[in-house]
Amino acid sequence: MRLAAIDRGHDLPGRSTLRALRVLGRTEVPDAAKVQIYRHRYFGTPFSDLLQDLMRGPSAWSVGERELFAAFTSARNRCEFSRTCHQAVAESFQDQELVIRALERPAESGQPIEVVVVLDFLAKLADAPDELTRADVERVRAAGVTEAALTEAVRISVACHAANRIMDAMGGVPPAGRDLTRIRWFLRRRGYATPASVKHLSGAG
């Protein structure tokens, strides 16, 4: 159920920021940004800070690999909004066909073995989490993935599980065409942080 407040319930700094984003991007603001800005101190900014750290902070994984993990988790959850956005960013870092194959058939994707085993782990985490065992962890580690690197991938996946459910619950519409191009440009260059005009001027919580 889409809440009207997500479209029309922002305070003045939030409305001004959304208006500016529409003008600068020459397109409608994606639904995820509307959720992020609405009552941002309650949810949007803390969650965005977490995402920014996971997706753009220091990591054993490249930005493209992290975006692939996010797209893969979103695909397993059938969240088309998130899958579309993360896939577009992942494809800006590596060949589109490699990304598509990784989302559908990791073992035949041509990705590094470290990425393949982590994707297999994330698939089980999404589909049958109660069946994960120490043996699954050992398989990943045997491929050369450190415990810290696996933990990072799992944290990305868990954050996406939450985001996927939020976007599906509000009926997030997958972007296409110029809208998707703008989102890819924005996420590649600025990441997931709350806009400064909202973070520092809006008291909505």
Give the CATH number of the domain where residue 101 resides: 1.20.1290.10
The model carries a pTM of 0.89
pLDDT of residue 205: 62
- Average pLDDT for residues 155-184, to the nearest whole number? 92
Contact between 31 and 173 under an 8 Å Cβ cutoff? The reply is yes
Confirm whether 172 is domain-assigned. yes
Confirm whether 13 is domain-assigned. no
Residue 177 has pLDDT above 80, yes or no: yes
More confident residue, 177 or 22: 177
Phi/psi-derived region of residue 177, left when phi > 0, alpha when psi is between -120 and 50, beta in every other case: left
Interacting residues of 17 by C-beta distance below 8 A, sequence separation 6+: 37, 195, 197, 198
- Average pLDDT for residues 59-88, to the nearest whole number? 97
Domain boundaries, position 68: 50-195
User: What's the number of domains the chain is made of?
Assistant: 1
Confirm whether 56 is domain-assigned. yes
